[in-house]
Amino acid sequence: MWEFKFYSRGGQGAVTAAKILINAAILEGKFGQAIPSYGQERKGAPVYTYARIADGPIDVKSYVYRPNCVICFDTGLSDLAIDITEGVRPGATLVVNTSDPGYACPAFANVTKIDADRITHETLGEVPPNVAMLGALAKATGCVSLESLTQAIQMKISGKAGEMNAKTCAAAYENA
């Protein structure tokens, strides 16, 4: 079972990303949960979101405390004393939004760096980088296929905007 913990700031689209990810898993016949954690969220405030994907029913109904995959939308969260390595399992994967090619986090066995902000801004403009992060996540983990992910995106966002968001996801997948 994949257990994900998303670290982001309010307005970056992590809650929506988790929901789209789970819809992609369901399209593939898998089971999934998207678990947002709401509190004092406002634009820029730290936000935590959790998700699970499994091939069979998921009995646990709680936040994810021991993730095997962490998705970090903003490396600046460390300036707020937020530890993205908290509880990670040995062999865990990190998907991180960074333009720093030297970014490293030794607590993770696998680190996928993606400049999701740049990719998003080039194709969509000034919108959250969530679909780009999902493309990198799919490439890094194989938890869902790119095809299911782009289909789930277009189910959530209709028309030309959905097509452009799916294109952004695919671009991030190719660049991860």
Residue 89 has a pLDDT of 98
Per-residue pLDDT of the chain in tens (176 residues, 90 and over written 9): 999 999 999 999 999 999 999 999 999 999 999 999 876 667 888 999 999 999 999 999 999 999 999 999 999 999 999 999 999 999 999 999 999 999 999 999 999 999 999 999 999 999 999 999 999 999 999 999 999 999 999 999 999 999 999 999 999 999 99
Counting Cβ atoms within 10 Å, is residue 157 exposed (0-12), middle (13-18) or buried (19+)?
Answer: middle
Q: Is the pTM of this model over 0.85?
A: yes
Dist. CA 20–CA 1, nearest whole Å: 18
What is the C-alpha separation between 173 and 72, in angstroms, rounded?
16
Contacts of 88 (CB under 8 A, 6+ apart): 66, 67, 68, 70, 107, 108
pLDDT of residue 157: 96
